[in-house]
Chain A
Amino acid sequence: AQSVTQPDIHITVSEGASLELRCNYSYGATPYLFWYVQSPGQGLQLLLKYFSGDTLVQGIKGFEAEFKRSQSSFNLRKPSVHWSDAAEYFCAVSGTYKYIFGTGTRLKVLA
């Protein structure tokens, strides 16, 4: 069955520290993979996506993600976190006609 797992429900980091959010997927074919961010009470905004080609993908707000087929992972990274990055982050895989979302990781940033 197709699925997306985000093993960390909550993550807390200090401002200026590096960040890695984990995402593992189960999908039979070559996946289309996405990371979205959601601020409280708002809709979701696309950070980056992977369809094919270079496995290291650059996104907005200084985020990047690396697709590792052997590990079925698509982890999101940022070298230096800003207080404004505090939000909830969702990983998703695009299946036939619809998305499959992970349950999200809530990021807290300490000043």
Chain B
Amino acid sequence: DGGITQSPKYLFRKEGQNVTLSCEQNLNHDAMYWYRQDPGQGLRLIYYSQIVNDFQKGDIAEGYSVSREKKESFPLTVTSAQKNPTAFYLCASSIARRRIPDTQYFGPGTRLTVL
């Protein structure tokens, strides 16, 4: 079945640690996205990538980094510079019609907790 997988489902981080969240898709989509979700704030865009080896900052990129070495993979690293990383993280992918994203397909999410 085609879809998006995220791992792990739950992740715990100690202060000062970097952690990496995995996102893989087998939908053959060019575009991929990372969102952060906090209660009452909806989804906020962290990074997005339209094509392999290229990505752009979203609205809240500080303290995060990404890579896009393969079409199907878009890992997100939460660095120690992110002061309040506890949140629910969602990865998504889509086809882009002339720069306009079509339906976004979402993974099941990773809940990150800082201990």
Contact = CB atoms under 8 A, between A and B. Distances in A.
Contact of A43 (B50, B101, B103, B107): B107
A99 interface: yes
B84 interface: no
Contacts, number: 62
Interface stretch (B13-21, B40-48, B63-71, B72-80): B40-48
Interface residues of A, number: 23
A98 B58 contact: yes
A34 interface: yes
Count class of interface residues, chain B: 20 to 34
A36 B106 CA distance: 10
Nearest to B41: A103
Interface of A: 9, 32, 34, 36, 41-46, 49, 90, 92, 94-99, 101-104
